[in-house]
Amino acid sequence: MPFINVQLAKELIADDPQGKKAALGQRITEAVTGVTGVKSDEVWIVFEEVPARNWYIGPRDVESIKFRK
């Protein structure tokens, strides 16, 4: 059974976390089942929401790069 771990900045889905995770889960499941032929109920997906201030690209955190104006 495929296991997919999705890590994303929680601010990207803050306006509708459940809806956006459901949409991502649906599309990921479709991609995996389409390529592998496994059944959709065999695809496991875990979402990890990481605060942008804890996610770094080199020396800068994503919050300062993307979310601060």
Domain parsing of the chain, residue ranges: 3-67
pTM score, whole prediction: 0.87
Rounded Cα distance between 21 and 16, Å, is 8
- Residue ranges of alpha helices (H) inside the chain are 17-36, 62
Query: Rounded to an integer, what distance in angstroms lies between the CA atom of residue 55 and that of residue 41?
Result: 31
**If you classify domain 3-67 with CATH, what class do you get?**
alpha beta
SS3 64: helix
Amino acid in the structure at residue 16? D
Give CA–CA dist 32/2, Å, rounded.
Answer: 8
Could you tell me the pLDDT band of residue 4, with boundaries at 50, 70 and 90?
very high
pLDDT-derived band of residue 66, with 50, 70 and 90 as boundaries?
confident
> What H or E segment, with its residue span, contains residue 48?
strand 44-50
Tell me the mean pLDDT in the region 28-40. 98
